[in-house]
Amino acid sequence: MKRETALEMGRRKDDSVARISMYMTNWCPYCQQAKALLRSLGVQWNEINIELEGLSRVDLANLTGGHSVPQIVINGKSLGGYSDLYALHQSGALRELLQLDSLASPEDETPAHGRS
């Protein structure tokens, strides 16, 4: 049986909620920051631990276009890493992308940001 990728899952039809997947590792600090940001927004996501799944960085790049972790996919669109997610949150664009009406505003407290 073929395993469905995060990009394929995001393309399924369900307009009521954004589909979020994060390719990550347990040891990655930026993965932890991305999870904290998503948690603060009250959204759920699917975690794909590339080490447990046996995905190489080449596999990750083929799936998402990026080779570092985390790689975040929302509604089938690869967004990049934590810095990209944080920038979307700060600009307010994450609110629309996640299709939620009650997200925290960019001025609210968010996890410390860094580069991924």
Q: Write down the pLDDT at residue 5.
A: 58
For the segment 53-103, what is each residue's pLDDT rounded down to a tens digit? Answer: 999 999 999 999 999 999 999 999 999 999 999 999 999 999 889 987 543
Under 8 Å between Cβ of 110 and 41 = no
Report yes or no: 97 and 18 within 8 Å, Cβ to Cβ.
yes
Amino acid 17: pLDDT: 73
Domain extents in the chain: 6-97
How many residues are recorded in the chain? 116
pLDDT at position 8 is 57
Q: Per residue in 46-60, pLDDT tens?
A: 999 999 999 999 999
What are 28's two structure tokens?
């990655």
Higher-scoring residue by pLDDT: 90, 107 = 90
Find the DSSP H helices in the chain.
6-10, 29-40, 50-53, 57-64, 82-91, 93-97
Residue-wise pLDDT for 7-30, tens only, equals: 555 444 455 578 999 999 999 999
d(CA 45, CA 29): 17
CA distances from 65 to 33, 91, 102, 104, 107 (A): 21, 23, 30, 29, 30
DSSP for residue 20: E
Residue range 6-97, CATH number: 3.40.30.10
Span 39-49, mean pLDDT? 96
